[in-house]
Copies of this chain bind each other. A is one copy, B any other.
């Protein structure tokens, strides 16, 4: 066969593939690679859709998930929501056409974004059982619901309606989807139950009722009746925008002038900033966007980096929050009584390729968590638990890339998943989470996102180490204390008895021997009120003066309870006290109260000290260098310089 024939023969074979055909052949890419995973993926897509629908209209989600076994490996999945419903003319397209949806062109934090999820599940059901999906939907405007049985015509990527009718449905509004599919129902890890439980935790205003194939009825009751915050749409942020995208946006924009194009199509570009950009880029302000040239676009992109532009707005992001992170972790560790709940870390919002994103991290450690295995990583993206593809996720890569040995956690060679009694929860929310595939189970290794997760993990590691240090140091000193405090008085007593003299006061002698500043913290909770108490004991032979710092949730702080008043209250909740001079063997006490928090939201004060040698202090860590003290830091250092030597002067004994 000559090459002429081949080129022609190939040409005759060349043709377009519909996106449905592509996924019919590659269903594993959508998350349908084994019956177990396929069942979970289907539930997930339907529930994510249901939650998104309720969030759109701002109602408390009330979701029913009914899974019934039809045959050895055939299940019937039914998911019903109380969302706004879908208008009749759109129903079959939303469910029967891949890459069709309402959320692709809007930039907002929703679970579904691709228009592939639920239609993918329907396609999978059709491939494996040959049966049509049934959708029932009603908007509040309709008297009756619209019911349609549909298949997907994969050659054309179009819904093929098998049957349609109107039906009475005793519901204000909502949608119900019913899919027959091949699956395997399992318990434990990566199960439907685990997914629903994890989902309920981070969506506390949702009630999720699950009727399982084995006849169980499990209700994940809502823990809060706070209405879901409707997703806030934003425009792309200029930072990280691609050249080709800028060119396309300019071509498609109806704006007549470059400045108005910049102002209307991007977030954080005011008229002033738009002008500054044009000036920086040496491009005319009244240039027609449609005629933007490659070189001009390049110059504008460079100007985006040079001109000062505000960080992306954060109201479009909805992090899980410290409370729910704690709850999520608590729920997983259940009865394992971990020793330490690291205060959850919430990073400030950041941006990649024009999309705002935000990272949260929670860590628990110790107790009865299994010590001789890899640490567990719980991953969430836009409040959806990720149960598969851990290996290729940015979350995992960040954990693996960090040298955990620095924080006292076992890790061979300082790379890879560390080992030990630890669980790490990571949540990434964004107006566009960059998943590695359409199965949406792993976040792509975008450098900005890995970077931010790493920073949060570092902070968590630091807090963990600081806790461990305090604990170890305290335990050691406590032992010494015990000996000194029981032994010395007895010796003094005995000696006094022998020489028949009064028993001497040996407190100062003890202080000389111990030579530490001992800091104790305690948090009590009673009826919505946390009372925190920090006791500073000077068990050194000299008087001491230094600074003490702690972080509090500022919104909950009862200012009137602060005793003494701190010298400094920063907007991020960092409090600093310049302690009064504490004479040898005396103490100083700080108390304050918090209101309106749950018990688990504040369990431990994490005190820091400055202006004193850290080796002399037990129960607090030195102030970390990365505390963003700004101007205050300098003042404090001056303060330290002034008092440091004075503090060291012997107070005479």
Q: What residues make up the interface of A, taking CB atoms closer than 8 Å to B?
A: 1-4, 6-8, 10-11, 13-19, 21-22, 24-26, 28-29, 33-34, 37, 56-59, 83-87, 89-90, 93-94, 97, 99-106, 114-115, 126-131, 139-141, 154, 172-173, 242-248, 294, 297-298, 372-374, 389-392, 396, 412-413, 416, 419, 432, 434-439, 442, 444-447
A17 pairs with B100, CB closer than 8 A: yes
Whole-angstrom distance between the Cβ of A48 and the nearest chain B Cβ:
16
B3 pairs with A389, CB closer than 8 A: no
Closest to A389 in B: B392
Asked, given contacts A7-B85, A391-B396, whether A29 binds B130 with beta carbons under 8 Å apart, the answer is no
| 14 residue pairs A–B, Cβ–Cβ below 8 Å | A4-B140, A6-B56, A8-B139, A14-B100, A16-B97, A16-B115, A17-B114, A19-B99, A22-B114, A25-B104, A34-B447, A129-B244, A130-B243, A130-B244
Q: List B contacts of A248 (CB < 8 A).
A: 154
Asked, given contacts A34-B446, A243-B129, A247-B130, whether A436 binds B389 with beta carbons under 8 Å apart, the answer is yes
Q: How many copies does the complex hold?
A: 2
* Interchain CB contact (< 8 A) of A139 among B4, B18, B173, B437: B4
Asked, given contacts A7-B85, A86-B11, A140-B7, whether A28 binds B244 with beta carbons under 8 Å apart, the answer is no
Q: List B contacts of A294 (CB < 8 A).
A: 130-131
Please report the C-alpha to C-alpha distance between residue A436 and residue B391 in the assembled complex, in whole angstroms.
12
B99 pairs with A7, CB closer than 8 A: no
Asked, given contacts A14-B93, A22-B114, whether A3 binds B373 with beta carbons under 8 Å apart, the answer is no
Please report the C-alpha to C-alpha distance between residue A298 and residue B72 in the assembled complex, in whole angstroms.
13
* Interchain CB contact (< 8 A) of A87 among B8, B84, B154, B435: B8
Please report the C-alpha to C-alpha distance between residue A552 and residue B24 in the assembled complex, in whole angstroms.
44
Whole-angstrom distance between the Cβ of A490 and the nearest chain B Cβ:
50
Please report the C-alpha to C-alpha distance between residue A436 and residue B413 in the assembled complex, in whole angstroms.
30
* Interchain CB contact (< 8 A) of A7 among B22, B103, B141, B154: B141
* Interchain CB contact (< 8 A) of A100 among B16, B90, B100, B416: B16
Q: List B contacts of A7 (CB < 8 A).
A: 84-87, 139-141, 173
Please report the C-alpha to C-alpha distance between residue A498 and residue B265 in the assembled complex, in whole angstroms.
109
Please report the C-alpha to C-alpha distance between residue A140 and residue B3 in the assembled complex, in whole angstroms.
6
Q: List B contacts of A442 (CB < 8 A).
A: 392
Q: List B contacts of A34 (CB < 8 A).
A: 445-447
Asked, given contacts A3-B85, A59-B3, whether A28 binds B444 with beta carbons under 8 Å apart, the answer is yes
Q: List B contacts of A173 (CB < 8 A).
A: 3, 7
Closest to A442 in B: B392
Closest to A396 in B: B391
Whole-angstrom distance between the Cβ of A608 and the nearest chain B Cβ:
37
Q: List B contacts of A16 (CB < 8 A).
A: 93, 97, 99-100, 115
A127 pairs with B245, CB closer than 8 A: yes
Please report the C-alpha to C-alpha distance between residue A126 and residue B115 in the assembled complex, in whole angstroms.
24
Asked, given contacts A114-B22, A392-B442, A434-B26, whether A84 binds B3 with beta carbons under 8 Å apart, the answer is yes
Closest to A436 in B: B437
Instruction: Give 4 new A-B contacts, CB below 8 A, not counting A7-B84, A37-B445.
Output: A7-B86, A14-B102, A130-B243, A391-B396
B28 pairs with A127, CB closer than 8 A: no
B101 pairs with A14, CB closer than 8 A: yes
Q: List B contacts of A89 (CB < 8 A).
A: 11
Q: List B contacts of A392 (CB < 8 A).
A: 389, 391-392, 436, 442
Asked, given contacts A2-B140, A6-B56, A6-B57, whether A33 binds B434 with beta carbons under 8 Å apart, the answer is yes
Whole-angstrom distance between the Cβ of A536 and the nearest chain B Cβ:
44
* Interchain CB contact (< 8 A) of A446 among B1, B24, B33, B93: B33
Q: List B contacts of A85 (CB < 8 A).
A: 3, 7
Please report the C-alpha to C-alpha distance between residue A35 and residue B140 in the assembled complex, in whole angstroms.
49
Closest to A155 in B: B252
* Interchain CB contact (< 8 A) of A19 among B2, B19, B447: B19
Q: List B contacts of A391 (CB < 8 A).
A: 389-392, 396
Q: Which residue, of A4, A104, A130, has the highest number of chain B Cβ atoms within 10 A?
A: A130
Please report the C-alpha to C-alpha distance between residue A57 and residue B2 in the assembled complex, in whole angstroms.
7
* Interchain CB contact (< 8 A) of A90 among B11, B86, B128, B140: B11
A33 pairs with B444, CB closer than 8 A: yes
Asked, given contacts A6-B84, A59-B3, A173-B3, whether A17 binds B437 with beta carbons under 8 Å apart, the answer is no
Q: List B contacts of A100 (CB < 8 A).
A: 14-17
B17 pairs with A127, CB closer than 8 A: no
* Interchain CB contact (< 8 A) of A242 among B14, B128, B396: B128
Please report the C-alpha to C-alpha distance between residue A253 and residue B303 in the assembled complex, in whole angstroms.
59
Whole-angstrom distance between the Cβ of A73 and the nearest chain B Cβ:
11
Closest to A174 in B: B3
A22 pairs with B99, CB closer than 8 A: yes
A99 pairs with B154, CB closer than 8 A: no
Please report the C-alpha to C-alpha distance between residue A264 and residue B197 in the assembled complex, in whole angstroms.
49
Whole-angstrom distance between the Cβ of A198 and the nearest chain B Cβ:
20
B390 pairs with A436, CB closer than 8 A: no
Q: List B contacts of A1 (CB < 8 A).
A: 57-58
Please report the C-alpha to C-alpha distance between residue A234 and residue B295 in the assembled complex, in whole angstroms.
50
B106 pairs with A13, CB closer than 8 A: yes
Q: List B contacts of A432 (CB < 8 A).
A: 25
Q: List B contacts of A438 (CB < 8 A).
A: 29, 437
* Interchain CB contact (< 8 A) of A4 among B6, B28, B141: B141
Please report the C-alpha to C-alpha distance between residue A420 and residue B107 in the assembled complex, in whole angstroms.
48
Asked, given contacts A11-B87, A140-B7, A413-B372, whether A17 binds B101 with beta carbons under 8 Å apart, the answer is yes
Please report the C-alpha to C-alpha distance between residue A337 and residue B34 in the assembled complex, in whole angstroms.
41
Whole-angstrom distance between the Cβ of A261 and the nearest chain B Cβ:
16
Whole-angstrom distance between the Cβ of A389 and the nearest chain B Cβ:
5
